[in-house]
Amino acid sequence: MSIKSSVYPKALVVALVVSLTTSVISAETTPKGVVRSSGALPTLNAAYTPVSIEQYSRSSGAITTRDDTKIFGERKTPSGTAAILERRLQGIGAELQEELSRLKQDLLKPDSVIANLLDSFFYTKWKAVIRGKHPESSEALQSLYLTLSHHFGDDAALAEAFVAVKKKSEDPASYAAVKVLHAQVQWWIKEKKTTDEAFTLLKLDQTNGNPFASPIFLQWKALITSKNLKNPEPEEAATREMFDCLSSHYKDDVVLIKILDAEYKLDSALSDTAKDLLDFQIQKWKNDGKTEEDVFTLLMLDQTDVKQLLASPAFDQWLKFVTDSSPEVENRKKAEYVSNALMRHFDDEAAVTEALVAGTKIDAMRSIASTLLRIQMKKWRTTRNTPEDVFRLLKLDRAAGNNPFASPVFSQWLRFIAQSSTEGKLMEDLLNALLRHYKDEAAVTEVLVAGTKTDSTRSRTSSLLKKTNRRVA
């Protein structure tokens, strides 16, 4: 006779309760290989077999004991090799072991399986016995975790299932899930698992390049946090350990910054973690003696399309480094340094201007982009550039479709003219600047006609065209 599918979670609960009612498994009594063993179920020394369990009723799922106070038995030193389950399952039969094998396959849909298991377990024995009578409930929970880990053999799937149950706060099983997740972390610490080993164990290296997207990333973070609790500076130590591990997996700083920046901007549960890691990277560059030029090159910003520069998370990180590396330098000087650095690396006034104009439309970049445009304008004035000079610097004489008015940098040229224009004379001064550049009214008329064919420039060019016609008349 086989156990019905609706019953087998309860049957597993029996195995787990028996597991928990034995003297708990500790690191010194359980060989490391036991938890990951994929062979036949090993045997447990008789000293660890509970003597008080009498029967299991499949109809009710209840456990009957002669004396609940003795349910844990006495803890004794095992003779020979101790292992986990075979004698704990004694009396339940081979049919249950078949169901345990099936349950392993059900981890393809783990949430309901684990939820049912925890729900039943929570109400039958965990709350009444483990919590109330076991002096070392954390070890009892480790026993539960080890039993599940032995059967499923996949810590990542197991953790993901428990995290899913944990999120169902209205479910009584949620509380038990939190406890088991904690037990998993404590077992890793006892086993001296490294941060990198846990990263791989939880398959965070198999997340399509973004470990933050994994629902069990927080379990990895919990391990790192727990490992560093006794450190004089626990938060900084945990951040350093996490950063070092991520850096070893994502050797390209630009890729790592993109991952962290994206998570930070999501305003998620891990946003603060991502920000801490970004800040730590800046501090590390400072500690390593990196200069602004070093970091600019390190982040391959000199190889970035300048027109996309301000949209790059790496550029934002570089700006923060420039700001933080010299706190004694006033912001105006830092902005001038950034402006000079951009021109030094790209040597293309038109492209840099286009990037800055685009930056004014990005919330996070609007302030610095506007500041850099003002600095650029000041430089043009200082070097005594005329409107015609700036027209050429911005390559408006080579505008697409012979329509400089449609260029994204036209607005910067217009502002330059406006700075020296008298009130009410801007359009006239603009027209004069065009005439001085083209030296031919027919050529100017041609440019203005081209402008009337584009929706965004039609109004302005039509007005200028009327002024031109009146002059000719």
Transcribe 148-211 into DSSP letters: HHHHH--HHHHHHHHHHHHT-TTSTHHHHHHHHHHHHHHHHHHTT--HHHHHHHTTGGGSTT-G
- Residue partners of 207: CB distance under 8 A and separation at least 6: 213, 214
DSSP letter at 303 equals: G
Categorize the per-residue pLDDT at 330 as very low, low, confident or very high, splitting at 50, 70 and 90: confident
Categorize the per-residue pLDDT at 100 as very low, low, confident or very high, splitting at 50, 70 and 90: low
User: In a 3-state reduction of DSSP, which class is residue 64?
Assistant: strand
pLDDT surpassing 60 at residue 14:
no
Using CA atoms, how far residue 36 sits from 39, 99, 216, 246, 452, in Å, is: 9, 19, 20, 26, 75
Q: What is the largest CA-CA distance in the chain?
A: 116
The CA distance from 99 to 68, in Å, is 27
Better-predicted residue by pLDDT, 121 or 273:
273
Average pLDDT over residues 5-17: 38
**Residue 120, exposed/middle/buried by CB under 10 A (0-12, 13-18, 19+)?**
buried
Categorize the per-residue pLDDT at 137 as very low, low, confident or very high, splitting at 50, 70 and 90: low
Categorize the per-residue pLDDT at 70 as very low, low, confident or very high, splitting at 50, 70 and 90: very low
Which tokens belong to 205? 């290296």
Categorize the per-residue pLDDT at 64 as very low, low, confident or very high, splitting at 50, 70 and 90: very low
Residue 339 amino acid letter? S
